């Protein structure tokens, strides 16, 4: 699998990243082991997790499975700052650093490759959160730092404050939801990232699974949309506007003799500024189907047609 640098940093990651939000809850350790093995065998390197995923369950499974592989072969990304632990804002220095140490213990490693603030908290001065990132770098707990789910102005403001601090721990990445069904980052976040030299990690590059086409004729009983705790995550992309985009993806796939997964993932992966498109397969079979995208490059006219349809729908 080909790799790209994350923005203007020296950190390189595979063009398709492996999301693990469901590990330890909807995906058990045995299926997760098959998924990870399939991903690494294909040359994938980026493993994305967070302290908030399953209240640490995802990190615990990732750590258990990575013990069987060479640490240097993977880029481990995790996040802190989501929720309000013990009554404290999640992005406070104390909460961030405590969360980081817990993440490292669960992952069975002495460092992360990339550590992200998972969300903006208006109650906490951004300099305090940035100070936690700086301390993590200076103490060797992480190699690089970034932000996640920030708006455009929040991204630019955090960069400005970090630059003024001249700490030697610059923000190198922003992770945001981005797909043919979620193009809002193009308005501000992605232009800001390009101007500031950040790499974009696009989470849910398959539109929360909807761009696979699995919901064209109903809701499969084994799908996320049929799950009590995940249906609310998928429902926003089951509206008429989203259906227009899904049908366009499926028609393009038929014409190109590809799968909808390959078309939608290739589109997101190859957008300007995207360092890696993240997917969260529930099975190794789903992952294998997605990884065939490595050989796919969309014709320019198809990519432009999808741009037009999804822009109109959004």
Which helix (H) or strand (E) segment is 194 a member of? helix 189-196
Beta strands in the chain (DSSP E): 3-5, 12-14, 16-19, 46-48, 75-80, 112-117, 142-148, 171-177, 199-203, 274-279
When computed from its CA atoms, the radius of gyration of the chain, rounded to whole angstroms, is: 19
Diameter of the chain measured on Cα atoms: 54
Which residue, among 138, 142, 79, has the nearest Cα to 110 in the 3D structure?
142
* Neighbouring-strand partners of residue 174: 147, 200
3-class DSSP state of 79:
strand
Compute φ and ψ for 270, nearest 5 degrees: -100, 10
> CA–CA separation, 252 vs 44, rounded Å?
26
Look up 53 and say whether it is catalytic: yes
Q: Looking at 39, 53, 150, 178, which residue is catalytic?
A: 53
Which residues are catalytic, by number?
Answer: 53
């Amino acid at each position: 699998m080909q790799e790209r640098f994350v923005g203007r940093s020296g950190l390189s990651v595979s063009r398709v990243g492996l999301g693990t939000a469901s590990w330890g809850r909807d995906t058990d350790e045995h299926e997760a082991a098959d998924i990870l093995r399939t991903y690494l065998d294909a040359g994938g390197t980026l493993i994305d997790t967070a302290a908030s995923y399953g209240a640490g369950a995802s990190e615990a499974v990732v750590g258990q499975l990575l013990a069987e592989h060479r640490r240097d072969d993977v880029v481990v990304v995790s996040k802190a700052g989501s929720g309000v632990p013990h009554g404290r804002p999640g992005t406070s220095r104390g909460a961030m650093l405590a969360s980081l140490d817990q993440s490292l213990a669960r992952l069975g490693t002495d460092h992360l490759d990339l550590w992200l603030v998972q969300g903006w908290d208006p109650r906490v001065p951004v300099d305090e959160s940035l100070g936690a990132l700086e301390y993590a770098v200076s103490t060797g707990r992480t190699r690089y730092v970034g932000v996640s789910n920030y708006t455009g102005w929040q991204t630019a403001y955090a960069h400005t404050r970090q630059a003024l601090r001249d700490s030697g721990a610059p923000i190198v990445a922003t992770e945001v939801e981005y797909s043919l069904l979620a193009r809002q980052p193009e308005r501000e976040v992605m232009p800001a990232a390009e101007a500031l030299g950040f790499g974009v990690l696009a989470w849910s590059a398959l539109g929360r699974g909807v761009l696979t086409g699995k919901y064209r004729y109903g809701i499969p009983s084994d799908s996320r949309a049929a799950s009590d705790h995940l249906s609310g995550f998928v429902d926003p992309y089951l509206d008429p506007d989203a259906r227009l985009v899904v049908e366009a993806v499926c028609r393009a796939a038929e014409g190109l003799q590809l799968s909808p997964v390959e078309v939608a993932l290739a589109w997101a992966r190859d957008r300007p500024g995207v360092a890696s498109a993240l997917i969260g397969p529930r099975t190794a079979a789903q992952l294998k189907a997605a990884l065939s995208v490595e050989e796919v490059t969309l014709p320019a006219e198809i990519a432009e047609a999808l741009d037009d349809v999804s822009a109109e729908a959004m």
